[in-house]
Amino acid sequence: MAGQVAGLFPFLFISIEAVFELSTLQFSDDTSYWRQNSYYIAFQNHRAGFILSGDNIHVDGYNSGGINGNGDVWYDEDKGKSTEGRPMPFVLWNITDSSVDNFFVKQPQFWAINIMNGTNLSFENITSSAVSNNAPAGSNWVQNADGFNTMDAHNITLKNFLYQGGDDCVAIKPRSFDITIDGITCEGGNGIAIGSLGQYLEDNSVENVTINNAKMVRSGFPMRWCVYIKTWMGDLVPQTSYESEGQPRGGGWGKVRNLLFSNFELVGVERGPYITQDNGGNAENKGTSKMEISDITFRGFTGTLSSTIAPGYYQAAIGAVCDAYDPSEISTRPEHSAPFPIPSIFKGYPRLHISIQKKT
Ligand SMILES: *[C@@H]1O[C@H](CO)[C@@H](O)[C@H](O)[C@H]1NC(C)=O
Ligand SMILES: *[C@@H]1O[C@H](CO)[C@@H](O)[C@H](O)[C@H]1NC(C)=O
Ligand SMILES: *[C@@H]1O[C@H](CO)[C@@H](O)[C@H](O)[C@H]1NC(C)=O
Ligand SMILES: *[C@@H]1O[C@H](CO)[C@@H](O)[C@H](O)[C@H]1NC(C)=O
Ligand SMILES: *[C@@H]1O[C@H](CO)[C@@H](O)[C@H](O)[C@H]1NC(C)=O
Ligand SMILES: *[C@@H]1O[C@H](CO)[C@@H](O)[C@H](O)[C@H]1NC(C)=O
């Protein structure tokens, strides 16, 4: 399959077993067309431009095939902000027992690869690259061009993944279970997000996630967090961005447990692992998060921190479950290209067990 995705069939439903051999699928540059005609996604009021749905779908790009979202026209239009209607170029939605291999998604208009309601999926040798050709030096015009996202997902493996861009390399979103990721390189952006969780009044649990062998590299864009867990405040709080559709958000609940992050090599990363439970709210909602976090392990983190942001910037994780976060510990972290392993930056949570172990 090759050529332009013009909009005649932005939504592809496949219910039979299919083997795809893809060269490049390129989205047209008609942003107003796509803003009007993409497929609505309730989560954060987003849109999909191309959806795979069904059972036993196997996509192989043979290392030369993939999707080109023609993202520059969107990055130029939005210039670093994110406006409503930017279609995701590759959404796997209501899909089981399927695979994607040797495949790229470049210049995505929005999140590059997004799984929603996916079970038994494997991905191997995937590249996701969001680089603006027109952004002035130093500005990040590719916000929200995440790499690999999961939601309502069970038993997903991702092996050998390269992300280049300015946002989340991987984002593990609500109700993701049994996610195994091995061998990823994130060049620029936020690194690996667990979240956002708790934005909606529903169970937002995330359980059994293993991410092994990750390299986080400062490149064209700053490399901000390496791994962060982000939960919303426990109250419904009025929001202004289009993502909330004029509704108050927050107040979601659930458990975040049994997450293992191991063998991380950091090159010029601004901050070490990070947990915040105060997303989306105001000072008076701090500490109200209903997401319970436990059994999080960061093991074998080595490399350098650039620490361009003062250590005190860390938001305290002072949710209902995570009490007694001690930011003073942060300041003992090595700064300015100092070597890891990082010291134990989290301590004293009554029910939060985080162990940061030295690489042996
Ligand atoms: C996926 O399934 C949900 C509920 O079963 C449905 O609302 C949604 O439209 C489906 N998505 C697609 C792309 O068919
Ligand atoms: C996932 O499927 C379940 C069950 O069919 C449905 O309730 C839910 O809305 C779906 N979620 C999405 C994001 O399609
Ligand atoms: C997970 O998915 C893979 C296919 O990607 C399958 O081979 C395996 O049996 C599944 N595991 C479980 C426990 O369902
Ligand atoms: C996932 O794979 C397992 C193991 O092969 C199988 O038992 C299960 O039915 C699959 N789940 C779905 C939703 O296809
Ligand atoms: C991924 O790439 C490696 C190295 O080229 C190759 O050996 C492996 O077969 C590829 N995986 C798949 C599923 O094609
Ligand atoms: C998480 O893993 C544990 C241990 O293997 C297992 O008992 C539990 O059922 C898993 N949870 C989910 C939601 O898959």
For residue 275, give both structure tokens. Answer: 């947990």
Contact by Cβ (8 Å): 116, 91:
yes
Residue 282 confidence (pLDDT):
82
Residue nearest to atom 11 of ligand 2 (CA): 117
Confidence class for position 140, pLDDT limits 50, 70, 90: confident
Q: CA 314, 319, 320 angle in degrees (round to 5)?
A: 165
From atom 8 of ligand 2, which residue's Cα is the shortest distance away?
Answer: 117
Give me the pLDDT at residue 265, please. 83
Higher pLDDT, 356 or 306: 306
SS3 131: coil
Geometric angle at alpha carbon 67, from 66 and 68, rounded to 5°: 130
Pocket test for ligand 5, best of 125, 126, 127, 157 (most atoms within 8 A of CB): 125
pLDDT band of residue 324 (cuts 50, 70, 90) is very low
pLDDT tens figures, 112-137: 999 999 999 999 999 999 999 999 98
Model pLDDT, residue 19: 55
Tell me how far the alpha carbon of residue 56 lies from the centroid of ligand 2, in angstroms: 19
Write the pLDDT tens digit of every residue in 257-308.
888 888 888 887 877 777 777 788 888 887 788 888 777 777 777 767 665 4
Give the percent of the chain with pLDDT over 70: 77
Using DSSP, state whether 132 is helix, strand or coil: coil
Contact 22, 63 (CB under 8 A): no
- Rounded to two decimals, the pTM is 0.87
Residue to probe by mutation, ligand 5, list 64, 101, 162, most atoms within 8 Å of CB: 101
Ligand 1 atom, smallest distance to 117 CA: 1
Question: With bands split at pLDDT 50, 70 and 90, how would you rate the model's confidence at 162?
Answer: very high
Nearest residue CA, atom 7 of ligand 6? Answer: 208
The ligand that comes nearest to the alpha carbon of residue 153 is 2
Residue 55 alpha carbon to ligand 3 centre in Å = 13
Q: Which has the minimum average pLDDT: 15-24, 31-40, 50-59, 340-349?
A: 340-349
Give mean pLDDT, residues 316-337. Answer: 30
User: Picking from 102-106, 156-160, 180-184, 277-281, which range would have the lowest pLDDT averaged per residue?
Assistant: 277-281
Query: Is there an atom of ligand 2 within 6 Å of 51 CB?
Result: no
How far is Cα 170 from Cα 147, in angstroms, rounded to an integer?
A: 6
Confidence of residue 342 (pLDDT cuts 50, 70, 90): very low
Structure tokens at 308: 């361009």
Residue 344 confidence (pLDDT):
32
Q: Phi, psi (5° rounding) for residue 214?
A: -120, 140
The H-assigned helical ranges of 38-99 are 71-78
pLDDT level of residue 158 (50, 70, 90 thresholds): very high
The helix/strand/coil state of 124 is: strand
DSSP secondary structure letters along 137-169: TT----TT--SEEEEEEEEEEEEEEEEESSSEE
Dist. CA 110 → ligand 5 center (Å): 27
Report the chain's mean pLDDT, rounded to a whole number.
Answer: 80
Dump the DSSP string for 225-243.
Answer: ESEEEEEE-SS-B---SGG
Give me the domains of the chain, ranges plus CATH numbers. 1-146 (2.160.20.10), 167-360 (no CATH)
Q: Is residue 178 within 6 Å of ligand 6 at its C-beta?
A: yes
CA angle 299–335–225, rounded 5-degree value = 55
Question: What amino acid is encoded at 348 in this protein?
Answer: G
Shortest-distance Cα residue to atom 2 of ligand 4: 120
Q: How far is the CA of 125 from the centre of ligand 5 (A)?
A: 7
Which of 91-100, 286-295, 300-309, 339-348 shows the lowest per-residue confidence on average (mean pLDDT)?
339-348
- Cβ of residue 115 lying under 6 Å from some atom of ligand 2: no
Q: Is the pLDDT of residue 253 over 60?
A: yes
Helical ranges in the chain per DSSP H: 31-37, 71-78
258 CA distance to ligand 6 middle (Å): 9
Beta bridge mates, 186: 163, 216
Question: How many Å is the maximal CA-CA distance in the chain?
Answer: 57
Catalytic hit among 72, 78, 167, 278: 167
Cis peptide leading into residue 337 (ω within 30°): no
Q: Is 72 one of the catalytic residues?
A: no
Which residue out of 150, 156, 207, 257 has the highest number of ligand 6 atoms within 8 Å of its CB and is therefore the one to mutate? 207
CA distance 272 to 334: 10
Task: Give the pLDDT score at 322.
Answer: 28
Pocket of ligand 4 (CB under 6 A): 96-97, 119-120
